[in-house]
Amino acid sequence: MLEIEIDGQQIQVPDGSTVMDAAAKIGSYIPHFCYHKKLSIAANCRMCLVQVEKAPKPLPACATPVTNGMKVWTHSESAVKAQKGVMEFLLINHPLDCPICDQGGECQLQDLAVGYGGSQSRYQEEKRVVLNKNLGSLVATDMTRCINCTRCVRFTTEIAGEMELGQAFRGEHAEIMPFVEKTVDSELSGNIIDLCPVGALTSKPFRFAARTWELSRRKSVSPHDSLGANLIVQTKHDVVKRVLPLENEAINECWLSDKDRFSYEALNSAERLQRPQIKQGGEWREVDWQTALEFAANGLRGIAQQHGGQGLGALLSPHATVEELYLGQKLMRGLGTDNVDFRLRQTDFRADGRRSGAPWLGMPIAGVGELDRLLVIGSFLRKDAPLLAQRVRQAAKRGLQVGVVGPTAEEWLLPVRSRMVVPPSGMVSALGQLVRALSEQKSVVVSEAFVSSLPAAVSEEASTLARLVGSGERVAIWLGNLAVQHSQAAELEALACEIGRLSGGRAGVIGEAANSVGGYLAGAVPSGTGLNAKGMIDSPRKGYVLLAAEPDLDFADAPRTQAALQSAEIVVSLSAFDSPALRESADVLLPIAPFSETSGTFVNCEGRAQSFNAVAKPLGECRPGWKVLRVLGTLLGLNDFAYEDSEAVSKAALGADYTRKLAGGETFHVAEAASVTDSGAGLERVADVPIYFADPVVRRSAPLQKTKDAAVPVARLSPATLAQLGVSSGERVRVGQGSGTVELVAAADETLAAGCVRIAAAHRTTAALGALSGRLSVERA
Amino acid sequence: MILAGVDGDRAWRLQDYLARGGYSALKKIISEKIPPEAIIAELKTAVLRGRGGAGFPTGLKWSFMPRSFPGDKYLACNSDEGEPGTFKDRDILRYNPHSVIEGMTIAAYAMGCARGYNYIHGEIFEIYQRFEEALEEARAANLLGADILGSGFSFDLFAHHGYGAYICGEETALLESIEGKKGQPRFKPPFPASYGLYGKPTTINNTETFASVPFIINMGGEAFLNLGKPNNGGMKLFSVSGHVNRPGNYEIPLGTPFSELLEMAGGMRGGRKLKAVIPGGSSSPVLPADVMMSCTMDYDSISKAGSMLGSGAVIVMDETTCMVKALERLSYFYFEESCGQCTPCREGTGWLYRVVHRIENGLGRADDLDLLNSVTGNIMGRTICALGDAASMPVQSFIKHFGGEFQYHIENKKCLVSPEVQYEGSQIYVSPSC
């Protein structure tokens, strides 16, 4: 500890602290622009100059280390004189166009200019003009306002992992710019808007939409990935105008992914369902709620009476709230069936009933920083969980060593020490080898159940990777979306748990959606003889309840799902959005509120339940999903549906200590064989769900759909496979899977395992292909 | 000393250097197994002050290097001579490159560095090529590389050619540039001695400083010190330019009266009257003729007179010089060479230039001189590196010593020195409007 006297207060600060840290400790604000607690120190703005005893000149608080016995004055005459001098320099070339600047009202330069700026300028010369840059569809630029603090540059380099911005030229000609002809394409790019202390970088979708002081600020939780980032949703006249991060060090820190930040643009999309509709005689017509609900209730009741509850099935979205999921399953169970599931893209459910609870990350999100070894299995980590990847990236700088098993070595912008690139069909064997290698290296006996099924030989890569995983003290093993959606997901999970046991670590699941854990806790999974998501499609039901899911985009096998739904007598769809595919499958469309217009709860990957309130009134005649389900339950005469509010529902759903319902990560064993085996001829499909296709909301966010990540899917093949097929990159190929055929552009992908084709799912151009895994044929179109 | 006996086309070659007694200091260290501490002690005795501009005692600087540091340590030579008026280092590299190589090798031995770089200014191509050749000669003769002269000591030295940015002469910007980054100074602390090139302890010295080292080893620190005067040891190269008859580099003992140096340089051109001298490169404060004539050329005397010996670049101006125009040109240089990293320098240098430019062009305002003084006050001591100070000191000193001339310019919208007189002195046409 070091002693420092700062502004007359004697305090102790830890070794390595800066004067800025010490000032923060006593709550003394030192004006600054370039300093940011999450970024490296630049000391270039010079705004934080303070007076230090015995120093001949003022020193920057952000870059001056505290020395024992130091005396600092942050607001003395000489400190303020220096600060004012710097402020004058910052303002001489600044356009001072606050009245037309979107940053106005929340601008650090504007705020500090009030305290440190002059009332008029001594600078009578011509001001600098800097041309604007095209950074893509999310970030607008007014570069003349830039004060060259380089926060954005440091963010892209340090936090997002790739230097997409830099300061070019010298002196007064210095400019912040992207690389020539490039935009900023990071999935975290929106954070540079928050970081920019002036109006140089502002939100393009929000541009000129409102003044910040007109907006109401309301807390919410992101409905997208499994992190559950905390949001501040800003509304004007009940319209969501902007989304900002709500700082939560345990979850999203002060960041947001672009998906969380810009998806709100979909909330008022033209495709929002605003009135209930029913299909009669093949014709859709708008009806009032009463009619629609009675139509739905009668339809469901009719099936239950004719075919028994077993004739019904419910397919619920993992992006739905705990309340919706709970009432959805309760409705089905009330109607006498166990056929309910929310794991719509999953195909292997053999692990059900073998875990000790709901699969989850197995550790707190903030714990990533303390890990020293991490094995990621079958994940598109960077795009599937951008902020989790960001945590891993920071931890890697402090010594975390990352190993990867999966069909692609795609760029995560973080150092991967060791990896096994294997096709999906080779993943079980790869993990088996890891188990064998680990047990040999650590001289720990493999669990009885695995002994007979382990591969006989261990490859060099497996041995290296096992050494990495086995050499840690704080080890985590994460299963990504590809592993969970794998046709042998149960084996992968069991083996991951065994790897956890052998390495002294803990296996967990990253999870694909906001409620991938919450769905389990809410009971939205079949128990006993109930059919799971795949079962309900494989043996079609007579009636379905569809919650917030799109038949052509949100399921493991879109064509079969659509066929099953279309063959049913009644499909009741609760959805915030309309779509042609939905109209083809459904018979009743009940418009429900998206996350912004309802209260609800998401349980994120670390098992943290986060409740939120509506931030805006429901659009048109929309109603919160939980209320619609409540009325449906009542109309159907089911017991216990009279919940007062959503809080009562979530209480019923989660109980007092829901964390006890989380899995313990114990090793388990899968006895029966997988129903689908990935053997046979043809190439293997590797399917990612691209970041901006993942759920109905984000699919409709216009600015996100204009980004590079939302490009139309291509068929990616390894150069060797392309050569074997006699196809070159850029040519069109015909891809056939099952009975579906699509035409796509082929692209070489050096990161992909040989014999694989990577084709994104959840997009209309690839929906005809069906299953996310399996064999397919590729030929020149 | 450094430039003694370097006449002829082949003087820079290894053979000629050896014939002049070159590498005898290195050989002496190796054969007598002189311990590193003794070398540093010798430098301290010699009071060899940094020849790059700051005049920091070299022996003290070398003693800052952590001896017990376990990893790599680096040595860098600053030959990024970019200060207007300074042209000594390139002549050292042109005529006596092996003295620098020998000096660096001794330094590396004294501080335990295994690798060194000579950062050569980007606008001198031939000299860079020559230095590469000299390195090859030294490597071939086992005066560089592994196990130098069978001593067990190894040192690799590389030449690094810059791109001509003035700011890369700032030692931490120089390190950034060697690392392949944009040449921008780092904030200090940490200092290079603890966190330098690639984050490792690094010592950076000027070309002339290194070139002096072999002589100190050969003649002994005491003798070197006695060449100059107390606290200002040895000989120093002065680059004399401006209105003198024989501009060029002059190697003279520190403490030599300025008047003698002026005489060596052939005296004032056309016998005109001396008006002002910038004694240590463009960033050092200008001194009026009478002050300068009473100075001796050493760190302490010039400092006492209110300026700095700097790199020893003596810019001589006679009575035909318009001081406003001179300052305008200097200010333009700093405006163009500011790296743009930190606010006061990025914004302030342009402001200074524009105001001086305005005054020079007859658009000066009554409060401009106060403004200039205030702006320079806001730049000085507030920046990451010394470029802010370097840009400010000429402005402050020009106004301090020649304020009347500026005032005249503002009030009369023309030069005090008439354009005809200016033309006579510089042979450069000056518009009558100024």
CATH number, domain of B299, equals 3.10.20.600
Q: Does residue B433 surpass a pLDDT of 70?
A: no
Is residue B387 in some structural domain? yes
Does A47 lie at the interface with B, CB-CB under 8 angstroms?
Answer: yes
- Measured between CB atoms, which of A43, A56, A171 is closest to B338? A171
Residue B299 confidence (pLDDT)? 94
Enumerate the residues of chain A whose CB falls inside 8 A of the CB of residue B392: none
Q: What is the mean pLDDT of chain A?
A: 96
Cα maximum dimension of chain A: 91
Reported ipTM: 0.94
- The answer to whether A46 contacts B383, with C-beta atoms less than 8 Å apart, is yes
Select from A509, A537, A557 the last residue of a domain: A509
Contact map slice: A 141-160 vs B, CB within 8 A: 147-148
Select from A143, A174, A205 the last residue of a domain: A174
C-beta neighbour count of B296 within 10 angstroms: 20
Mean pLDDT in residue range A43-62: 96
Length reported for chain A: 781
Tell whether B87 and B180 lie within a shared domain: yes
Cα maximum dimension of chain B: 73
Question: Is it true that the peptide bond before B189 is cis, omega within 30 degrees of 0?
Answer: yes
Is residue A49 in some structural domain? yes
**Chain A to chain B, count of Cβ pairs less than 8 Å apart?**
98
Structure tokens, B50? 């940094």
- Measured between CB atoms, which of B338, B371, B382 is closest to A170? B338
Select from A455, A481, A509 the last residue of a domain: A509
Tell whether A425 and A311 lie within a shared domain: no
Is residue B2 in some structural domain? no
Is residue A535 in some structural domain? yes
Is residue B372 in some structural domain? yes
Is residue B430 in some structural domain? no
Residue B8 confidence (pLDDT)? 85
Produce one character per residue of B222-252: b if its CB has 16 or more CB atoms within 10 Å, e if not: eebbebbbeebbbbbbbbbbbbbeebebbbb
With CA atoms as reference, the chain B residue closest to A80 would be: B378
Is residue A203 in some structural domain? no
Owner of token pair 């002065």: B238
Is residue B108 in some structural domain? yes
Tell whether A160 and A16 lie within a shared domain: yes
Q: Does residue B428 surpass a pLDDT of 80?
A: no
Structure tokens, A724? 């074997």
- The answer to whether B371 contacts A90, with C-beta atoms less than 8 Å apart, is no
Tell whether B213 and B136 lie within a shared domain: yes
Chosen from B191, B335, B342 to mutate, greatest number of chain A CBs within 10 A: B342
Question: Is the pLDDT higher at A671 or at B412?
Answer: B412
Does A54 lie at the interface with B, CB-CB under 8 angstroms?
Answer: no
Please list, in sequence order, all residues whose beta carbon lies within 8 angstroms of the beta carbon of residue A623, skipping any fewer than 6 positions away.
A289, A590, A591, A592, A593
Q: Does residue B275 surpass a pLDDT of 80?
A: yes
Is residue B49 in some structural domain? yes
> Are the beta carbons of A145 and A127 closer than 8 angstroms?
no
Residue type, B355: V
Mean pLDDT in residue range B176-187: 96
Enumerate the residues of chain A whose CB falls inside 8 A of the CB of residue B355: 125
Select from B250, B284, B318 the last residue of a domain: B318
Q: Give the tens place of pLDDT for each residue, A123-137.
A: 999 999 999 999 999
- The answer to whether A172 contacts B384, with C-beta atoms less than 8 Å apart, is no
Tell whether A494 and A400 lie within a shared domain: yes
Phi-psi sector, A778: left (phi>0), alpha (psi -120 to 50), beta: beta
Residue A665 confidence (pLDDT)? 86
Q: Give the tens place of pLDDT for each residue, A137-148.
A: 999 999 999 999
Enumerate the residues of chain A whose CB falls inside 8 A of the CB of residue B338: 170-172
Tell whether B405 and B282 lie within a shared domain: no
Q: What's A713's DSSP letter? A: P
Does A741 lie at the interface with B, CB-CB under 8 angstroms?
Answer: no
Residue A671 confidence (pLDDT)? 75
Dihedral (C-alpha) A419, A421, A425, A431: value to the nearest 10 degrees? -10
Tell whether A13 and A160 lie within a shared domain: yes
- Measured between CB atoms, which of B346, B355, B381 is closest to A171? B346
Residue A679 confidence (pLDDT)? 66
Tell whether B164 and B293 lie within a shared domain: no
Could you write out the DSSP letters of every residue in A297-329?
Answer: HHHHHHHHHHH-GGGEEEEE-TTS-HHHHHHHH
Q: Does residue A678 surpass a pLDDT of 80?
A: no
Tell whether B65 and B94 lie within a shared domain: yes
Q: Does residue A680 surpass a pLDDT of 80?
A: no
CATH number at residue B336: 1.20.1440.230
Tell whether A367 and A485 lie within a shared domain: yes
With CA atoms as reference, the chain B residue closest to A42 would be: B187
In the sheet with B74-79, reading across from the earlier edge strand, the strands are B156-161, B115-120, B74-79, B202-206
Tell whether A396 and A541 lie within a shared domain: no
Tell whether B61 and B146 lie within a shared domain: yes
- The answer to whether A89 contacts B355, with C-beta atoms less than 8 Å apart, is no
Tell whether B328 and B354 lie within a shared domain: yes
- The answer to whether A171 contacts B350, with C-beta atoms less than 8 Å apart, is yes
Tell whether A329 and A398 lie within a shared domain: no
pLDDT band at A563 (very low <50, low <70, confident <90, very high): very high
B420: helix, strand or coil: helix
Question: Is it true that the peptide bond before B190 is cis, omega within 30 degrees of 0?
Answer: yes
Residue A674 confidence (pLDDT)? 74
Tell whether A53 and A127 lie within a shared domain: yes
CATH number at residue A378: 3.40.228.10
Tell whether B242 and B352 lie within a shared domain: no
Tell whether B313 and B328 lie within a shared domain: no
Mean pLDDT in residue range A746-753: 96
Is residue A696 in some structural domain? yes
How distant, in Å, are the alpha carbons of A20, A25, B199 from that of A66?
9, 13, 21
With CA atoms as reference, the chain B residue closest to A92 would be: B347
Owner of token pair 């303070």: A50
| Contact residues, chain B to chain A, C-beta under 8 Å | 165, 167, 182, 187, 189, 335-351, 354-355, 358, 371, 374, 377-378, 380-384
Select from B318, B344, B379 the last residue of a domain: B318
A523: helix, strand or coil: coil
Q: Give the tens place of pLDDT for each residue, A473-523.
A: 999 999 999 999 999 999 999 999 999 999 999 999 999 999 999 999 999
Tell whether B156 and B27 lie within a shared domain: yes
Closest CA to A594 of A269, A293, A343: A269
Burial class (CB within 10 angstroms; exposed 0-12, middle 13-18, buried 19+) of B283: buried
Tell whether A470 and A580 lie within a shared domain: no
Report the distance separating Cα B357 and Cα A552, nearest Å: 69
Is residue A672 in some structural domain? no
The verdict on pTM exceeding 0.90 is yes
Number of domains in chain B: 3
Is residue A338 in some structural domain? yes
Residue B389 confidence (pLDDT)? 96
Report the distance separating Cα A293 and Cα A394, nearest Å: 50
- The answer to whether A90 contacts B343, with C-beta atoms less than 8 Å apart, is yes
Select from B227, B248, B283 the last residue of a domain: B227
Query: Would you report the helix, strand and coil content of chain A in percent, each value rounded to 5?
Result: 30, 20, 45
Enumerate the residues of chain B whose CB falls inside 8 A of the CB of residue A171: 335-340, 345-346, 349-350
Report the distance separating Cα B158 and Cα B147, nearest Å: 17
Type and span of the H or E element at A734: strand A732-737
Mean pLDDT in residue range A65-77: 96
Number of domains in chain A: 4
- Measured between CB atoms, which of A43, A47, A92 is closest to B351? A92
Weakest mean pLDDT among A112-116, A489-493, B68-72: B68-72
Is residue A271 in some structural domain? no
Residue A676 confidence (pLDDT)? 64
Question: Is the pLDDT higher at A26 or at A679?
Answer: A26
pLDDT band at A677 (very low <50, low <70, confident <90, very high): low
Query: Would you report the helix, strand and coil content of chain B in percent, each value rounded to 5?
Result: 50, 15, 35
Separation of first and last alpha carbons in chain A: 70
Tell whether B336 and B302 lie within a shared domain: no
Please list, in sequence order, all residues whose beta carbon lies within 8 angstroms of the beta carbon of residue B408, skipping any fewer than 6 positions away.
B415, B416
Residue B365 is part of which domain span? 323-419
Is residue B434 in some structural domain? no
With CA atoms as reference, the chain A residue closest to B186 would be: A42
Tell whether A646 and A542 lie within a shared domain: yes
Is residue B141 in some structural domain? yes
Tell whether B243 and B346 lie within a shared domain: no
Structure tokens, B146? 């592994």
Q: Among residues of chain A, what percentage have pLDDT more than 90?
A: 95
Length reported for chain B: 434
Tell whether A638 and A751 lie within a shared domain: no
Residue A287 is part of which domain span? 277-348+516-656
Structure tokens, A180? 């020539």
Question: Is the pLDDT higher at B305 or at B426?
Answer: B305
Mean pLDDT in residue range B283-287: 96
- The answer to whether A85 contacts B382, with C-beta atoms less than 8 Å apart, is yes
Q: Give the tens place of pLDDT for each residue, A619-669.
A: 999 999 999 999 999 999 999 999 999 999 999 999 889 999 999 888 888
Does A57 lie at the interface with B, CB-CB under 8 angstroms?
Answer: yes
Enumerate the residues of chain A whose CB falls inside 8 A of the CB of residue B383: 46
Q: Give the tens place of pLDDT for each residue, A439-463.
A: 999 999 999 888 888 999 999 999 9
Residue B432 confidence (pLDDT)? 56
Residue B430 confidence (pLDDT)? 66
Tell whether A164 and A17 lie within a shared domain: yes
Does A16 lie at the interface with B, CB-CB under 8 angstroms?
Answer: no
Is residue A398 in some structural domain? yes
